[in-house]
Chains A and B, each alone.
Chain A
Amino acid sequence: KAGVTQTPRYLIKTRGQQVTLSCSPISGHRSVSWYQQTPGQGLQFLFEYFSETQRNKGNFPGRFSGRQFSNSRSEMNVSTLGLGDSALYLCASSSTGGAYEQYFGPGTRLTVT
């Protein structure tokens, strides 16, 4: 079974721009979660989608949004980028989410200049 894939792996953007990151879960998994990882704040939960519906949301501003498609692939979008948005963005999939173990992708490294 193929693992979780994330594209692109690396991205450089300028302040004020917007960015879209993509995540393809493991085949058959219906839950996709997104996390932001920074040296200062560690791993922080952004949101979770299950069957195209946002089921949980972390404490991030509205500039951070996401969606999930009928094939369970997910995208997250960040608008009006700031220097503080530079981070590793990780996607994780699980069969039903919640207590079931999550499988992580390699992440997208976003650098904002």
Chain B
Amino acid sequence: AQSVTQLGSHVSVSEGALVLLRCNYSSSVPPYLFWYVQYPNQGLQLLLKYTSAATLVKGINGFEAEFKKSETSFHLTKPSAHMSDAAEYFCAVIRSSGNTPLVFGKGTRLSVIA
């Protein structure tokens, strides 16, 4: 079975500071991994995805994530936080083979302080 653990339900950073949101996964088979963002009263928007090509994945809005198999991690980073980055972020995992549903982490709420 696949699962993800997001460390920290709430992360607060200053505007211009580094953003680091942590995600660790568990999977019995090679996984595909995703980061989604959810703004208030909206659905989820795909930020980036790892599908076994490059281990460093670049997404929208300046975000990137690195797949580290040895650490079973897929942490999300952004060099400089902007006020508009304040939102809920979800890490998700899926099997790389077969038609199985996405499994989401509990989410991390990011606050950006001016």
Residues of A whose CB lies within 8 Å of any CB of B are 4, 33, 35, 42-43, 45, 48, 50, 55-56, 58, 90, 92, 96-99, 101-107, 109
Contact = CB atoms under 8 A, between A and B. Distances in A.
Contacts of B96: 99
B26 interface: no
Nearest to B45: A104
Given A4-B43, A104-B43, A99 B103 contact: no
Given A48-B101, A102-B102, A104-B36, 19 more contacts: A42-B105, A42-B106, A43-B104, A45-B102, A48-B99, A56-B100, A56-B101, A58-B101, A90-B43, A97-B99, A98-B94, A98-B95, A99-B95, A101-B46, A101-B49, A104-B45, A105-B43, A107-B42, A107-B43
Main secondary structure of the interface of A (DSSP, over half): strand
Instruction: Determine which residue in B42, B49, B101, B102 has the highest number of CB atoms from chain A within 10 A of its CB, and name it.
Output: B101
Nearest to A33: B101
Contacts of A97: 99
7 contacts: A42-B104, A43-B104, A45-B102, A56-B100, A56-B101, A58-B101, A98-B94
B67 to A, nearest CB: 15
Nearest to A3: B43
Nearest to B36: A104
A21 B104 CA distance: 22
Contacts of B104: 35, 42-43
A101 B97 CA distance: 14
Contacts of B103: 45
A107 to B, nearest CB: 5
A59 B43 CA distance: 22
A90 B44 contact: yes
A42 B44 CA distance: 13
B99 A56 contact: yes
Contacts of A106: 41-43
Contacts of B41: 106, 109
